[in-house]
Amino acid sequence: MLTIKQIFIRLFLSILLSGLIGMERESIRRPAGFRTHILVCVGSTLVMLTGIYIVDLYNYKSSLDVTRLGAQVISGIGFLGAGTIIREGTTVKGLTTAAGLWAVACIGLAIGAGFYLAAILTALLVFITLLAFTRVEKHIKVRRNYMCIKIVSVNQPGQLGKVGSITGKYGANIRNIELESQDDNIVVITLLIQIPNTSIKLDLLNELSRIEDILEVYEC
């Protein structure tokens, strides 16, 4: 039978581990942040504790399968994760946050079952992946000659065409475009391009800045 001490430790540990992951998401202003991750993990822990409690309550005479409750959490968290995924044109954002919520739910189930070592190690690995591997990912993109450019421009027809002509002139391939309107007259264009070599960066930025009605150009 679960003791009050065991219940307290498991719920407190779920808050601690999920809060660690949630803080990282909150620090970069993702849709699901500190509180969301804690709620998901605590809820998952409670589901597993409830399953164990019911089995103990009926002295193992119940046909309830504790693992089925956990399986419902894993499938149900998909709906919450889907809410963090945003599609903007050809860009999809929020996949990492959705995966993080799913991982936090799994961590909560492990804590609820008393599998502390696996839960703690998994939480630390998830945190390291989110925090440290972001730099590795950026380094990989740099090695592949990726370049991120932000362009602040007057919002008028033809600007993207002019930008595309210049990037094509330098042999750069546009991999992704994001548009963000600051007001009715100003738009921020974010380009992710693959360039043939890094020596063209300065010339490319200078030529882009000379386009009429472009106010500012800089590397992300």
* Nearest-angstrom CA–CA distance, 10 and 16: 10
Separation CA 177–CA 191 (nearest Å): 5
pLDDT-based confidence at 199, cuts 50/70/90?
Answer: confident
Residue 110: which pLDDT band, with cuts at 50, 70 and 90?
very high
Specify whether the backbone of 70 is left (phi greater than 0), alpha (psi in -120 to 50) or beta.
alpha
pLDDT in tens, 148-176: 899 999 888 888 888 988 998 888 888 88
165 within 8 A of 211, measured Cβ to Cβ: no
Give the pLDDT score at 139: 58
pLDDT at 138: 58
pLDDT at 90: 45
Please name each of the domains of the chain with its CATH number: 4-140 (no CATH), 144-219 (3.30.70.260)
